[in-house]
Amino acid sequence: MNPQPFVVEPKNYTRPLNVVGEHITLLASGAATRSYEIFLQQGPEGSGPPPHNHPWDAAFYVTKDEIEFGVGKETRTLVPGSPVHLPAGTTHWFRFGKGGGEMISMTSRLGASQMFADIDREISPDNPDTVSNSILACPDKVVE
């Protein structure tokens, strides 16, 4: 079956998932698009994942405040209007800056939405350091 056009208004967003202290809202699922996924990522100051990689390309676009991104040994503080592209397998991390932040992210294929749902279900939001357990919760989706 071919993908169908769709529009998602904010009033129809799904429940935000709690992933290592940030809130991730699925805007477009891979099931709906038949390929890529789109997310709204919002986080309080200091939240974000530890260094990790995954088997899909990821793109981010900072929309509010500052977000610190680390790729390899390089770290940059990005402001609204900054895009980031990460090919599959690129080890990266990020932290929402002072006062928190917001970005849109997009993945090149299915997988991230299920990984986020697994982490939301399995990892304590009060102890995001346990995210390394996500390797056990969804080993085919996250590699540290």
Compute the distance between CA of residue 51 and CA of residue 84 in angstroms, rounded to an integer: 16
Rounded to two decimals, the pTM is 0.85
Tens digits of residue pLDDT in 109-141:
989 999 999 999 888 666 555 555 444 344 454
CB atoms within 10 A of CB 140: 10
For residue 144, what pLDDT band results from cuts at 50, 70 and 90? very low
pLDDT higher than threshold 70 for residue 95: yes
Residues 63-88 pLDDT 10s:
999 999 999 899 999 999 999 999 99
Name the percent of the chain lying above pLDDT 70: 85
Q: What is the DSSP string of the chain?
A: ---------GGGPPPPEEETTEEEEEEE-HHHHSS-EEEEEEE-TT--PPSBB-SS-EEEEEEES-EEEEETTEEEEE-TT-EEEE-TT--EEEEE-TT-EEEEEEESSTTHHHHHHHHHHHS-TT-GGGGGGHHHHSTTT-B-
Which pLDDT belongs to residue 87?
Answer: 97
Domains in the chain, start-ordered, CATH in brackets?
10-137 (2.60.120.10)
Residue 18 phi/psi, 5-degree rounding, is -95, 110
Write out pLDDT tens, residues 10-62. Answer: 999 999 999 988 999 999 999 999 999 999 999 999 999 999 999 999 999 99
